[in-house]
Each structure stands twice: as structure tokens, then as C-alpha cells.
Structure 1
Amino acid sequence: MSDHKTDDQRHEEELPHLHTTAAHVHEDSDVSISSLGMFLAALAITMIVTGVVVVGLFDIFLDQAEEADISPSPLAESGEPPAPPGPLLQVAERLDLRLHRESQEKLIHETAWIDRDRGVVRIPIERAIEITAERGLPDWPPVAQGVGGGSEASQ
């Protein structure tokens, strides 16, 4: 019958001996607290030293970069940089198209002076067609009425 042990008895034999006295409330196989404390202290010191080194290197590299930068000419204008040369991107395509068409319509349908000294005027297209039909083109021979194809007109 000694061969017939209960499951609880078998587990007790397999488990390491636990100290349950008042002096020992943890397993003997636990990690040493002093070793863990020394590791954490070394880790903290390493992190602090690494941070100081990184900040120091950053300052050194920043100083080197500032020395390497070319300072602008004292004659250069201060303020906003000039706009880049065109063509620029359109922000409102439909508005731009509408304004362009309005300006073209104004050129086509309104009368305005081009060169007052030489007597050059811009007139609406319809009026220009009427005047050309009445007076003909300047410095061109008049076209005979009823003349046929283009080969006869060129002779």
C-alpha cells in the first residue's frame, strides 16, 4: 500500500522545501535583493551617463553646424523672401478662369485707346467688321464684285 500515494503526497515530494518560519517568508531560490538593487543602480547610472553624453554631443554638433553655415550678406534684404518665379500653382482654378474670360470679353466688346498719339483704338469686333465691310482694308486693292475662284483674284 505504500506504493499507492495520493496525488497530493506526490506533489509535496516534488516541490522544494519551503521555509514557513517567521524569519523566512519567501523561497530560498528567489533572486537576491542586493544583486537586483546593484543591477538597477548600475542601469540608472548608465542611463544618466548616456543622457549626458548625448546632450554633450548634441551641443558640439550644433556648434559645428552653426560654424559651417554661411552667414547671409549684410546687404541682403531682411524680411520675407521673394516669391519664387512663375508660373505659380493655381489655388482657385474656376475663379481664375472666370476672371480671365471676363477680361477677354471686356477686350472684345469695349472701346479703348491703344495709342492716342498714333490714333490707334480698340473697338468691338462687330463694329470692326462693319467698318471693314464699308471701307475695305487699308493698302489693299478693292476686290471686284462677282469674281470667281481665288486663282483669278491673284492674277
Structure 2
Amino acid sequence: MSQDQHTHEPQPAENPEIEHEESDVPAGRIATLLIGLLAGVAMVALVLWGAFILLERQAQRSDIVRSPLITTPVVPPEPQLQAVPSRDWQQMLAEETERLNSYGWINQSAGTVHIPIERAMELTLERGLPVRPDATAQPAGQMPGLDNGYNLDSSGGIEPTTPGGSINTYIPRSIPVPQPTAPAAEE
């Protein structure tokens, strides 16, 4: 094979279906689009400005007019925020410490006073704690004022069985056990 057969001369590519744009983008159409867009934005801004003025006037009409003679400040409801919580804590602690370590009246007309905590503890040791006059000693596991049928131990108020007994021999303490009676004699 020779080299002459494989060489080709370049030929211009012709494709009649593909063409290029003969003119530029029409500037008039772009200008019209931009002017319309700006006019729309301006119109929306005017509508919102008018709505703002209308709503502002309505809000001013509905505001409560306070008398200029009122001088008391309006305090928000509790709980209020603390500006400096540590200072408030120190102030409360100082007030409580002062009350615990001083004498003072609780109710002067009734003759009720408070005394320092140290003195109160001394008096309690000297005099003892008050006891109700009707208080009686309760057996272990019983609470005052409760019937003996209410046992507060872990058995739940059930008597233990005797050795060799069955579960049917459990008798709750809170249920009275009926005693057998002799049948009534018929006449």
C-alpha cells in the first residue's frame, strides 16, 4: 500500500442546517422589561407605605391615653427579673440572719415574739419539747391514731401462719374474726 491512497485534502465543512445569528439582541425589549420591573417595584413600595400609614393611625386611635396626673409607675406582674441576683441573695441572707439572731415582735397585741435561734435551742433543751396530754405510748410498728388492724410492717397486715399451716390460715388483722356461737334453742 502506498501513502498516496491515504492522504486527504482538507475540505470546507458545509452544513446547511446550522446558521449563526445575523443580528444582536434587541435593546428595546430589554429596556421595556427593566422599566416594567422598576414600575412594579415602585408600585409595591407605594402600596406598602400606604398600608403602614393606615395601620399606624389605627394603632394611635386604639392607644389608651393616660392622665398626666397619674404619677405611679406601672409595675409588671410578678415574677420580675432580677438585675443583680447575687446582690439580692446577699440582701435576703443578711435579713434572715438578722431575724434569726435578734429579738422582735411577731404580733404585739397577742404578745408573740421571736427570739434568737441560739436562745430558742437553749430553752428547748432546758424545758423539753411539748407533749400532748392525751398522747399514749404506741406499740412498735403502730402509728398514733390508727386502729391496731393497720399494721405498717412489710407483712401488709397479715398474721404469719403456724408451721405446717396453709395459705388459708392467714387472717388479716383488720377483719374481725367471728366467734362461733351456740345455736338458739327452739321452743
TM-score by length of 1: 0.53
Out of 33, 55, 61, the position equivalent to 2:51 is: 61
Q: CA RMSD in A?
A: 4.4
Residue number in structure 1 paired with 2:92? 100
For residues 39-96 of structure 1, what are the alpha-carbon distances to aligned partners after superposition, in whole Å with 9 as ceiling and x for unaligned? 2211221122112211221122123313433432333569xx8342112345655554
Matched, 1:13 2:13: yes
Distance 2:31 2:121 in 1: 98
Distance 1:88 1:74 in 2: 25
Question: How many residues are paired up?
Answer: 127
Quote the offset at 1:124 in angstroms.
0.4
The letter for the 2-side match of 1:84 is: P
Structure 2 CA distance for partners of 1:31 and 1:106, relative to 1, 3 Å:
farther
Higher helix residue share: 1
Distance 1:82 1:14 in 2: 90
Distance 1:90 1:75 in 2: 28
Distance 2:81 2:114 in 1: 32
Matched, 1:71 2:62: yes
Distance 2:31 2:50 in 1: 29
| Structure 1 counterpart SS, 2:44 | helix
**Percent identity of paired positions between Structure 1 and Structure 2:** 25
Q: Structure 1 regions of 5+ residues with no counterpart?
A: 17-26, 144-149
Residue number in structure 2 paired with 1:20? none
| Structure 2 counterpart SS, 1:13 | coil
Quote the offset at 1:5 in angstroms.
3.3
The letter for the 2-side match of 1:130 is: E
Structure 2 CA distance for partners of 1:110 and 1:48, relative to 1, 3 Å:
same
Out of 70, 78, 81, the position equivalent to 1:86 is: 78
Structure 2 CA distance for partners of 1:30 and 1:76, relative to 1, 3 Å:
farther
Q: Structure 2 regions of 5+ residues with no counterpart?
A: 138-187
